[in-house]
Amino acid sequence: MAVKVIDVNVGIFEENDRIAGEVRALNKKNGTLLVNIMASPGAGKTTTLLRTIDDLGDEYNVGVMEADIDATVDAERMEAAGVRAMQIHTGGECAMDASMTMAALQEFDTAGLDLIFLENVGNLVCTAEQDTGANVNVEILSLPEGDDKPLKYPLMFTVCQAVIVNKTDTRKFFKFDDEAFVQRVHELNPMAEIFFLSAKTGEGFDEWTDWLRNRISEQSGK
């Protein structure tokens, strides 16, 4: 007797892809750039976003959607800094998907925002597997995590348009081979932009924020 196998993932991913397309269409209509920020816990996502928004805040209307399994710590930090923020609880899920993103955008009332950061749940596996509908995927890696992460988590570095290596101010304490890291990323994703910076000192932020300005301009058509 032959065993019948049904691949249910096909339908699940097709539905997510459909909604992701709707998310991108909505943001294109509004001229809003949605940037999906992914990283391990402790890589410095929130600190990097706060400095980025401080650099861009006088030029653009910016909002942040903070995704976590629980807690409101990151959204509270954003609000305390004067940033418009929303906390999203994923109900135990380890990553945002397109339907969660669409629901959050509708609740957040994003019309009038030039730039929205989605700070995804902290991990390098689930977040890379789900299309949120973002226009840009960005991976933040902290220098202490090591230059071998592209070898261990290849999908993450494949789906990102930009990779940030944060905490460059810790170089004297940790061994990190910049050249090897760049080579490993570009073997997976030749078009990925790579930025070395420090959210603590501000080193390298000009290149990162200039890149974001260009993406915002492309999305808005201005």
C-alpha–C-alpha distance, residues 118 and 150, integer Å: 22
pLDDT per residue over 35-78, tens digit each?
Answer: 999 999 999 999 999 999 999 989 999 999 998 877 788 888 88
Is the pLDDT reported for residue 9 higher than 70?
Answer: no
Q: Taking all residues of the chain, what is their mean pLDDT, rounded to a whole number? A: 91
C-alpha–C-alpha distance, residues 20 and 205, integer Å: 29
Is the pLDDT reported for residue 181 higher than 90?
Answer: yes
The pLDDT of 4-9, averaged and rounded, is 43
Q: What is the pLDDT of residue 215?
A: 97
pLDDT grade for 89, boundaries at 50, 70 and 90: confident
* Residue 139 Rama label (left phi>0; alpha psi -120 to 50; beta): beta
pTM: 0.92
DSSP strands (E only) in 53-158: 62-68, 84-89, 115-119, 136-142
The region of weakest confidence among 57-61, 160-164, 205-209, 214-218 is: 57-61
Is the pLDDT reported for residue 31 higher than 90?
Answer: yes
C-alpha–C-alpha distance, residues 92 and 38, integer Å: 17
The pLDDT of 171-188, averaged and rounded, is 97
pLDDT grade for 211, boundaries at 50, 70 and 90: very high
Q: Which DSSP letter does residue 2 get?
A: P
Is the pLDDT reported for residue 21 higher than 80?
Answer: yes
* Cα atoms in the Cβ-side hemisphere of radius 13 Å centred on 20: 18
Q: What is the pLDDT of residue 2?
A: 54
pLDDT per residue over 150-164, tens digit each?
Answer: 999 999 999 999 999
C-alpha–C-alpha distance, residues 85 and 91, integer Å: 19
